Amino acid sequence: MSANAELARLVARAQPRFRTTAEFVEATLREAILTGAIAPGTPLRQEELAETFGVSRMPVREALRQLEARALAEFHPHRGAVVAEISATDAADIGAIRMALEPMALRLSLPSLTTDDLAQADELIAEMDGEADPGRMGELNRRFHMTLYGRAGHPRLLALVEQHLLAADRYLRFQFAALGYHPRSQDEHRALLAACRAGDGAAAERLVMEHVGEAAEQLTAFLKEREAG
């Protein structure tokens, strides 16, 4: 069996409201990879993808190159592209990047946060409380974080942050499996929001760094054990 079934569903659902075919293909594949709909290591055959998407090979190749630049696919010359592998060290890598970027984003954003932003973050926490589906949970978590960082006004920084929040989502089901993620994470979310509300930048930065760091550490340990076993 190859890339598909699941992917075909995503293709069907994806809205044709993209500027170009290549971007439509890229966005759809990216989502499929990030959500795990296409497993790591899966070959991404051009002809097959072209047929699945109902397009020619060229936009597919452009999309694959973009995925490569985002570290979501790997190219092996004359052997084609495969979905980038996941690993304990990769998870640690992403965790380190998040621990570096997110406190900075928060620092830049905090002074400009509005009461509306804080209220929205509050709502997102509440929504997460009742959420069991990992995919939906990942999205809510991402929106919570991005809401707090959103006023930073540094588009490149924010794009990187979001990209790595998304990258972290590839590990979401392991995150859940690593146990205890949900409730402790929610406590940390609340503490973080409280610090933001109080305008305590130093505390907020520390909390977000710990929040990300602890999750990454748990996850990495879990994956290491899994790889060893």
Partner DNA sequence: CAGTGTTAGATTGGATACAATATCCTGGCA
Partner DNA sequence: TGCCAGGATATTGTATCCAATCTAACACTG
Report in angstroms how near the CB of residue 104 gets to a copy of itself at its nearest. Answer: 4
Footprint (CB under 8 A) of a copy of itself, residues 142-161: 153-157, 159-160
Token digits of residue 77: 């010359």
Single out the residue of 11, 24, 103, 223 in contact with a copy of itself (rule: CB under 8 A). 103
Q: Does 213 bind DNA (CB under 7 A)?
A: no
Nearer to DNA, 60 or 105 (CB): 60
Report in angstroms how near the CB of residue 192 gets to a copy of itself at its nearest. Answer: 18
CB 15 within 8 A of CB 46: no
Q: Does 36 bind DNA (CB under 7 A)?
A: no
Q: Does 90 bind a copy of itself (CB under 8 A)?
A: yes
Q: Does 29 bind a copy of itself (CB under 8 A)?
A: no
Report in angstroms how near the CB of residue 87 gets to DNA at its nearest. Answer: 20
Q: How far is CA 155 from CA 41, 94, 97, 187, 199, in A?
A: 32, 19, 17, 29, 23
Site residues for DNA per CB under 7 A: 20-22, 43-47, 54-59, 61-62, 75-81
Site residues for a copy of itself per CB under 8 A: 19-20, 22, 58, 61-63, 65-66, 68-71, 75, 77, 89-90, 92-94, 96-97, 99-101, 103-104, 108, 153-157, 159-160
